[in-house]
Chains A and B, each alone.
Chain A
Amino acid sequence: MIPLIDEDICTGCERCREVCPPQAIETAKKKVRIEAEFCEECGFCAAECPEGAIHIPFPKGST
């Protein structure tokens, strides 16, 4: 799943941009945007974010 960014928490520190392997994160005016076309869903950004502003939804529910 492509990460979701909570813009209210994001401080625009750009650390996510610096760890993104395919360089799919753009930052402008202290706001972060993920290019879905290039995102490989590695989760590095969520792990790096010091504010916990990046969340990757994980499926729940029974089969």
Chain B
Amino acid sequence: MDYPHVFSPGRIGSLMVKNRIKYAATETNFNTQDGFVTEREVAFLEAQARGGAAIVTTQGAYPDLLGEGKGFRGTMSIADDRFIPGLAKLADAIKRNGALAALQILHCGREGGVDLGYCLMPSVVPQRLSYFKPPREMTPAQIERAVREHADAARRAVAAGFDMIELSGIVGYLISTFISRYTNKRQDAYGGETIGQRCRLMGEILGAVKAEIGDKIPVGIRLCGAEILDDRGGNTLEESIESFRIAEEAGADYVSVTVGWHESSVSVITRDVPMGHWLWVAERVKKVVTVPVMMAFRLFLPEIPEKAIADGVIDFWEACRPMIADPELPRKASEGRVGEIIPCIACNLCFSRLYYHQPIMCSVRPSLGHEAEEAWGYRGFAPAKQRKRICVIGGGPAGLQCAAVSARKGHEVILWEKGETLGGSVLFASQVDKGEDELLRPIRYLEGECRRAGVGITLGKECTPEIVREYHPDAVVIATGARFKTLPAAIDCLNPAQIIGEGKRPGKRALIIGGDGVGVALAVYLLGRGEYALTLIEESGRLGRDVSPFYLWRFLKLFRERGVTLLTRAVPVGPEGKVWTISSPKGEKRVEVDHVIVATRETPEDVREALAGSAPAVYVVGDARRPRRLHNAVQDGYRMGMEL
């Protein structure tokens, strides 16, 4: 056993727990807008339980009928007995597969009222993020009602068959807004200068829940261990740590330590934050409580929680995003198959989709949300009716994913990559910034998946139409990626592949044409390697439209700090010597540059034309089909594989 501490039994309250892995709660937007659990949600959590986690936590169900506590459109409700049958299906699916079922109760507070025109808070503190609703101050009667609603919700959870209850008081949700000095300015019994006074609502909710359901069912709570709201007058670290001690005193059977609010202006869960970075916060909490301590937050590789548990820093490993990416993570880790785990890359595609009222998706696991649909192959693909011979051209994410799925279905698959290394444009992306080498993890996973499925991989050889014809394939899949556009031959220009891939360097004054993810990434790459005076121009009205908002804000901040000239709705008119004229709604701008870099992409039409007719069927996937992002390439490849 590689991870003896992770896979040792534990205890929470009166419950024996088979190992130290808890699938942590997240919203999915899989459920109906009126709060009912769907089969899609059941299948997703069933997969989590089958994967071998000891505890599977549901998403946070909102406890009030008005929906003031509801933060996402497709969140499930626990505000009435009519929701119990759906919740019981979830509990049953989890328990039938050998895990303990934990139901999270979540009133979103400052982030609630998604279908309403307002949200509830202890005091009116204006929203910093425009997405959220205007706040209203809670009346004492509303506070009393909220406490009652949490207790009623816990009763329903027990009736539905859940083994454990979890309360959530993090990131701006109701309980956290009372605890935080930043959002609680109340003068009554629910506010005050001391952390004990501001923890009163939490204590009352814990007390009411425990009184309602008794001692047999453990009740845990997630709290913020470090708000990172110093710039807004949030709690001190000592106050936050003290809130955990108060929670234990109020009856919490375990605590989960989280970091940051959604409005914190520091990276918390992105790739620039090293794995294991936040364990020190849990360590502080561990010193003041005796109940089990859990943590999620960038503990992606099992050796990190293994060491943390061995060192007595945490007792349980909460995995959320890593288990969205691969619910089988616990089983694979326990069987020594770590290389087979589909690796989360912290892209936060799942998270960001929630805010646009869309079901979560995963960049690296296209089967997310389709676990019960046979065609998606979550539990393995049915063998293809007819075994085909398939040529995949290009060893980037689209090609690798397509080859892996096709081979898993029993086809004979051969893949060519003209470069010496697999990865396609991920090889460039992985060098852009600190932590981006994590992007290579899914490439290594897919390469392994191809080899395990018997794909023949040829490196360092360009696949010509002649080679394809010799092979007599039934189908050809073009996954060669996009190519960079060029300027008229008279103009000397560079592109990101030459700069990142071949190490060419532009002069200090550079004009980057194209401000989607590629142009933005190139600017970040250059600024990390020297003093550049950059002008970045984008034809549309939005810079970095295809960059995750979780990453874009940091890049834009960097551009501001480094004086990058950003122009949108801008097109280059042309150069006169070293001076380029840029036309934008702000008028014409002239900038003197040493180099121009073309970061806009186009599909390789000549490749498509050359390969036309080389096999009975020719398909195009990934950036070669249309230049887009990593998750599109992976989705394209996967769906192509499903069809073949």
CB-defined interface of B358-374 with A at 8 Å, one 1/0 digit per residue?
Answer: 10010000000000000
Interface-lining segment among B96-104, B150-158, B467-475, B538-546: B538-546
**Given A58-B74, A62-B36, A63-B89: A41 and B632 interface contact (C-beta under 8 Å):** no
Q: Is the CB of B36 within 8 A of A58?
A: no
Q: How far is the CA of A18 from the CA of B546 in the complex (A)?
A: 10
Q: Within the complex, what minimum Cβ distance (angstroms) separates B517 from chain A? A: 9
Interface of chain A residues 1 through 35 with chain B (CB within 8 A): 15, 17-23
Q: Is the CB of A47 within 8 A of B34?
A: no
CB-CB < 8 A to A23: which residues of B? 626, 628
Q: Is the CB of A21 within 8 A of B358?
A: no
Interface of chain B residues 76 through 116 with chain A (CB within 8 A): 82, 85-86, 89
Q: Is the CB of B32 within 8 A of A59?
A: yes
Q: How far is the CA of A41 from the CA of B358 in the complex (A)?
A: 7
Q: Is the CB of B632 within 8 A of A22?
A: yes
CB-CB < 8 A to A42: which residues of B? 353, 356, 358
Q: Is the CB of A43 within 8 A of B628?
A: no
CB-CB < 8 A to A63: which residues of B? 32, 36-39, 85-86, 89
Q: Within the complex, what minimum Cβ distance (angstroms) separates B156 from chain A? A: 16
Return the contact of A60 from the options B32, B353, B545 (Cβ within 8 A). B32
Q: Is the CB of A58 within 8 A of B541?
A: no
Interface of chain B residues 277 through 317 with chain A (CB within 8 A): none
Q: Tell me, yes or no, whether B33 is within 8 Å of chain A by CB.
A: yes
Which chain B residue shows the least CB distance to A58? B33
Return the contact of A18 from the options B37, B540, B632 (Cβ within 8 A). B540
**Given A20-B545, A22-B632: A43 and B353 interface contact (C-beta under 8 Å):** yes
CB-defined interface of B315-330 with A at 8 Å, one 1/0 digit per residue?
Answer: 0000000000000000
CB-CB < 8 A to B32: which residues of A? 58-63
Q: Tell me, yes or no, whether A56 is within 8 Å of chain B by CB.
A: yes
Which chain B residue shows the least CB distance to A20? B545
Q: Tell me, yes or no, whether B629 is within 8 Å of chain A by CB.
A: yes
Q: How far is the CA of A17 from the CA of B545 in the complex (A)?
A: 10
If over half of A's interface residues share one DSSP class (helix, strand or loop), that class is named, otherwise mixed; here it is: loop
CB-CB < 8 A to A61: which residues of B? 32, 34, 36
Return the contact of A21 from the options B33, B545, B635 (Cβ within 8 A). B545
Q: Tell me, yes or no, whether B73 is within 8 Å of chain A by CB.
A: yes
Q: Within the complex, what minimum Cβ distance (angstroms) separates A51 from chain B? A: 16
CB-CB < 8 A to B542: which residues of A? 18-19
Return the contact of A56 from the options B89, B357, B540 (Cβ within 8 A). B357
Q: Within the complex, what minimum Cβ distance (angstroms) separates A23 from chain B? A: 7
CB-CB < 8 A to B33: which residues of A? 58-60
**Given A18-B542, A19-B542, A38-B626: A47 and B36 interface contact (C-beta under 8 Å):** no
**Given A60-B32, A62-B32: A43 and B357 interface contact (C-beta under 8 Å):** yes
CB-CB < 8 A to A62: which residues of B? 32, 34, 36, 82, 86
Which chain A residue shows the least CB distance to B30? A59
CB-defined interface of B161-176 with A at 8 Å, one 1/0 digit per residue?
Answer: 0000000000000000
Q: How far is the CA of A48 from the CA of B33 in the complex (A)?
A: 21
Q: How far is the CA of A15 from the CA of B82 in the complex (A)?
A: 42
CB-CB < 8 A to A18: which residues of B? 540-542, 545
The count of chain B contact residues (Cβ–Cβ below 8 Å) is 29
CB-CB < 8 A to B545: which residues of A? 18-21, 44
Q: Is the CB of B34 within 8 A of A44?
A: no
Q: How far is the CA of A46 from the CA of B355 in the complex (A)?
A: 12
Interface of chain B residues 34 through 68 with chain A (CB within 8 A): 34, 36-39
Q: Within the complex, what minimum Cβ distance (angstroms) separates B347 from chain A? A: 13
Most chain A Cβ neighbours within 10 Å, of B89, B358, B628, B632: B358
Which chain A residue shows the least CB distance to B34? A60
CB-CB < 8 A to A41: which residues of B? 358
Q: Is the CB of A21 within 8 A of B546?
A: yes
**Given A19-B542, A21-B545: A44 and B356 interface contact (C-beta under 8 Å):** yes
**Given A17-B540, A21-B628, A21-B629: A59 and B356 interface contact (C-beta under 8 Å):** no
Q: Is the CB of A56 within 8 A of B628?
A: no
Interface of chain B residues 524 through 561 with chain A (CB within 8 A): 540-542, 545-546
CB-defined interface of B127-139 with A at 8 Å, one 1/0 digit per residue?
Answer: 0000000000000
Q: How far is the CA of A22 from the CA of B357 in the complex (A)?
A: 18
Q: Within the complex, what minimum Cβ distance (angstroms) separates A16 from chain B? A: 11
Return the contact of B73 from the options A19, A44, A58 (Cβ within 8 A). A58
Most chain B Cβ neighbours within 10 Å, of A17, A44, A58: A58
Which chain A residue shows the least CB distance to B86? A63
Which chain B residue shows the least CB distance to A23? B626
Q: How far is the CA of A23 from the CA of B600 in the complex (A)?
A: 13
CB-CB < 8 A to B86: which residues of A? 62-63
Q: How far is the CA of A18 from the CA of B36 in the complex (A)?
A: 35
Q: Within the complex, what minimum Cβ distance (angstroms) separates B561 from chain A? A: 25
Q: Within the complex, what minimum Cβ distance (angstroms) separates A56 from chain B? A: 6
Return the contact of B358 from the options A15, A19, A20, A56 (Cβ within 8 A). A56
Q: Within the complex, what minimum Cβ distance (angstroms) separates A48 from chain B? A: 9
Q: How far is the CA of A23 from the CA of B542 in the complex (A)?
A: 12
Residues on B facing A (Cβ under 8 Å): 32-34, 36-39, 73-74, 82, 85-86, 89, 353, 356-358, 361, 540-542, 545-546, 626, 628-629, 631-632, 635
Q: Name 10 interchain pairs, CB-CB below 8 A, sorted by A.
A: A20-B545, A22-B626, A40-B632, A40-B635, A44-B545, A56-B358, A59-B32, A59-B38, A63-B37, A63-B89
Known: A22-B632, A47-B356, A63-B32. 17 other contacts (CB 8 A): A18-B542, A21-B545, A21-B628, A22-B628, A23-B626, A38-B626, A43-B357, A43-B358, A46-B357, A58-B32, A58-B33, A58-B74, A59-B32, A59-B33, A61-B36, A62-B86, A63-B38
List of 8 A-B pairs having minimum Cβ-Cβ separation, nearest first: A43-B356, A21-B546, A18-B541, A18-B540, A58-B33, A62-B36, A43-B358, A22-B628
